[in-house]
Amino acid sequence: MIRNIPKIDPLPKANSLLFQTDCKVERADDFRHEIVLAVKTAEGLVLFSGCSHHGILNILRASSQAFDGEKLIATIGGTHLPDSDAYDRFETMEEITDMANTIVRQYPGMRLITGHCTGKQAQQQFSKILSNRFDLFHSGATYYFDEK
């Protein structure tokens, strides 16, 4: 498990809509409770995240560092990148493009498998840039990660 993910890259802008309470005071959620599960396989690491409120790039960096640069072969989870037409304060297509290009450059060969909390615009851009390394998950889906 990976916890305490450093916030080096920007956090998803949709985080600004989420709050936590202690039954007395409501405040912005800091997502300290969120973790990433890393499963080590013969081919490399497969990461499982929830909504990626820490930001997909921060999660990838923290996971790679936690496992001393072990190859990341797949990340399965949300990206917390809803469509920007719902709120103009969400990530622009340019910002999503930059994220996708960073993934291609820094994590070659890694598959991004997402669905939950990933808007159509982000899905289309990730699919365009990551090509066959991008998939949408759904209930009952099966994925194979061997390179054979």
Domain of residue 129, CATH code: 3.60.15.10
Decide if pLDDT at 142 tops 70: yes
CB atoms within 10 A of CB 88: 8
Asked if residue 100 belongs to a domain, the reply is: yes
β-partners of residue 2 are 36
- Asked if residues 78 and 116 have their Cβ atoms less than 8 Å apart, the reply is yes
Alpha carbon 64 to its chain's center: 13
As a whole number, the mean pLDDT across the chain is 92
Residue 13 lies in a domain: no
Establish if 93 belongs to a structural domain. yes
> What does the pLDDT look like over 99-140, one tens digit per residue?
999 999 999 999 999 988 999 999 999 999 999 999 999 888
**pLDDT over 90 for what percent of the chain?**
76
pLDDT class of 143 with cuts at 50, 70, 90: confident
pLDDT recorded at residue 87 = 59
Assigned domain for 70 exists:
yes
Question: What is the span of the domain harbouring residue 101?
Answer: 32-136
Phi, psi angle pair for 37, to nearest 5°: -95, 125
Give the single-character DSSP code of 140: T
Average pLDDT of the residues in 66-86: 90
Q: What is the number of domains present in the chain? A: 1
Strand partners, 111: 74
Mean pLDDT for the stretch of residues 60-77: 95
Instruction: Please check whether residue 120 lies inside any domain of the structure.
Output: yes
**pLDDT recorded at residue 115:** 85
CB atoms within 10 A of CB 112: 26
The reply to whether 148 falls in a domain is no
* Position 105 in a domain: yes
Spatial contact of 100 and 70, defined as CB atoms under 8 Å apart: no
Q: Is-contact 106 88, C-beta < 8 A?
A: no
pLDDT value for 89: 79
What's the whole-model pTM score?
Answer: 0.91
